[in-house]
């Protein structure tokens, strides 16, 4: 169980994390989602006491993490897989971790096997691939058999096999009743992985709901795609009906707020030819973009604007 309450972090003028409050429940994989720079890593670092919050607090298993005598037994984390002394072997890195908690050497070899690091564990970390560093980081997170796990973008840069492996791992950990918080900036990584989503943008909470709820909540905002030679005339008429209209190139309009029937009727009234008319269901990625759209700090230049202002 992780409890985040009013967590805020400012770096000078930048508010990286802005009054975040949410819980992460045990027995589930909670996806922590947001565009790059949304504040995911900063939040995780504050939960672990690495960065000091400007205000607010976070509890891990009911207690502030930085006060724990045996923190690795409460929570394990993979934040930055590269953050290991390059001159030490993977196994020695794990031995140091074990020694801080009086964990026996047997357990070190156990987690090395569990993550499949094998004989590479005795080589220096300097020569590890990203995938091997991720595995070492995960072994470190698991060594204290903790009830809470935090993984910051663990799939970043991994090949498909690596991604599948992480999916199975986090599913297994959650099924054992552990609390799993898994961050990503890609909605696609959450499909088949997360049971619950905490979505943030610009440091603020955007959604805290089950995966299905997020899908359904946005599914109601269906869109209608219509192709016509008279885009301006049809767009004007639809805007007067209260619809939101986006041009979508090639003589097409993307219409929100009215049904396909209404679009067809309006076209008939205006005596405008319609060459295509279809309802569109949002894709997972689209839902995510819609949710976080306002929060993305750097938009791609030339993004579509409204045809006309209401």
Ligand X SMILES: Nc1ncnc2c1ncn2[C@@H]1O[C@H](COP(=O)(O)OP(=O)(O)O)[C@@H](O)[C@H]1O
Contact residues for ligand X, defined by CB under 6 A: 11, 14, 16, 34, 36-42
Please report the beta strands in the chain, taking only residues with DSSP state E, as ranges in sequence order: 2-11, 14-24, 29-33, 55-60, 75-78, 148-152, 179-184, 196-201, 204-210, 223-227, 244-247, 252-256, 276-280
28 vs 45, which CB is nearer to Mg ion? Answer: 45
Concatenated DSSP letters of 108-169: HHHHHHHTT-GGGGGSBGGG--HHHHHHHHHHHHHTT--SEEEEESTTTT--HHHHHHHHHH
Site for another protein in 166-195 (CB under 8 A): 176-178
Min dist CB 178 to ligand X, Å, is 22
Residue range at the interface with another protein (CB under 8 A); choices 41-49, 183-191, 237-245, 278-286: 41-49
CA within 13 Å, CB half, 9: 23
Min dist CB 5 to another protein, Å, is 19
CA within 13 Å, CB half, 197: 29
Min dist CB 138 to ligand X, Å, is 18
Instruction: Judge residue 24's burial from the number of C-beta atoms within 10 Å of its C-beta, 0-12 exposed, 13-18 middle, 19 or more buried.
Output: buried
Phi, psi values for residue 136, rounded to 5°:
-65, -40
Site for another protein in 46-65 (CB under 8 A): 48-52, 65
- Overall residue count recorded for the chain in this entry: 310
Q: Among Mg ion, another protein, ligand X, none, what does residue 192 contact (CB within 5–8 Å per kind)?
A: none
Q: Among ligand X, another protein, Mg ion, none, what does residue 16 contact (CB within 5–8 Å per kind)?
A: ligand X
Alpha-carbon distance 23 to 209, whole Å? 11
Min dist CB 205 to ligand X, Å, is 13
Q: Among ligand X, another protein, Mg ion, none, what does residue 119 contact (CB within 5–8 Å per kind)?
A: none
Whether the Cβ atoms of residue 176 and residue 245 lie closer than 8 Å to each other:
no
Site for Mg ion in 25-44 (CB under 5 A): 41
Quick one: residue 139, left, alpha or beta (phi over 0 = left, psi -120 to 50 = alpha)? alpha
Which of 25, 96, 268, 278 is the binder for another protein (CB under 8 A)? 96
Alpha-carbon distance 181 to 176, whole Å? 14
Interface characters, 39-68, with Mg ion (x: CB under 5 A): --x---------------------------
10 binds another protein (CB under 8 A): no
Min dist CB 61 to another protein, Å, is 9
Residues that bind another protein (CB under 8 A): 45, 48-52, 65-73, 77, 79-80, 82-89, 92-93, 95-97, 99-102, 140, 145, 147, 176-178
Site residues (vs Mg ion, CB under 5 A): 41
């Amino acid at each position: 169980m992780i409890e985040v309450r009013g967590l805020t972090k400012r770096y000078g003028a930048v508010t990286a994390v802005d009054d975040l409050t949410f819980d992460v429940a045990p027995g589930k994989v909670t996806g922590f989602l947001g565009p790059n720079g949304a504040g995911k890593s900063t939040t995780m670092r504050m939960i672990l006491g690495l960065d000091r919050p400007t205000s607010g607090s976070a509890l891990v298993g009911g207690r502030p993490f930085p006060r724990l005598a045996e923190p690795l037994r409460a929570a394990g984390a993979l934040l930055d897989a590269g953050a290991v002394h390059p001159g030490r072997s993977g196994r020695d890195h794990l031995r140091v971790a074990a020694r801080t908690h009086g964990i026996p050497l047997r357990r070190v070899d156990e987690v090395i096997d569990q993550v499949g690091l094998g004989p590479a564990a005795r080589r220096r970390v300097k020569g590890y691939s990203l995938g091997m560093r991720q595995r070492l980081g995960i072994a470190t997170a698991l060594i204290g058999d903790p009830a809470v796990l935090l993984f910051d973008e663990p799939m970043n840069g991994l090949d498909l096999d690596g991604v599948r492996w992480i999916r199975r791992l986090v599913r297994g950990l959650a099924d054992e009743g552990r609390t799993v918080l898994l961050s990503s900036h890609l909605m696609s990584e959450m499909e088949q992985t997360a049971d619950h989503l905490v979505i943030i943008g610009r440091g603020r909470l955007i959604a805290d709901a089950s995966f299905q709820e997020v899908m359904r909540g946005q599914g109601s905002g269906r869109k209608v795609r219509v192709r016509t030679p008279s885009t301006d005339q049809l767009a004007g008429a639809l805007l007067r009906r209260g619809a939101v209209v986006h041009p979508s190139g090639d003589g097409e309009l993307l219409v929100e707020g009215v049904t396909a029937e209404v679009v067809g009727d309006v076209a008939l009234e205006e005596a405008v030819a319609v060459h295509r008319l279809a309802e569109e269901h949002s894709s997972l990625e689209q839902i995510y973009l819609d949710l976080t759209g306002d929060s993305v700090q750097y938009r791609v230049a030339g993004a579509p604007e409204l045809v006309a202002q209401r």
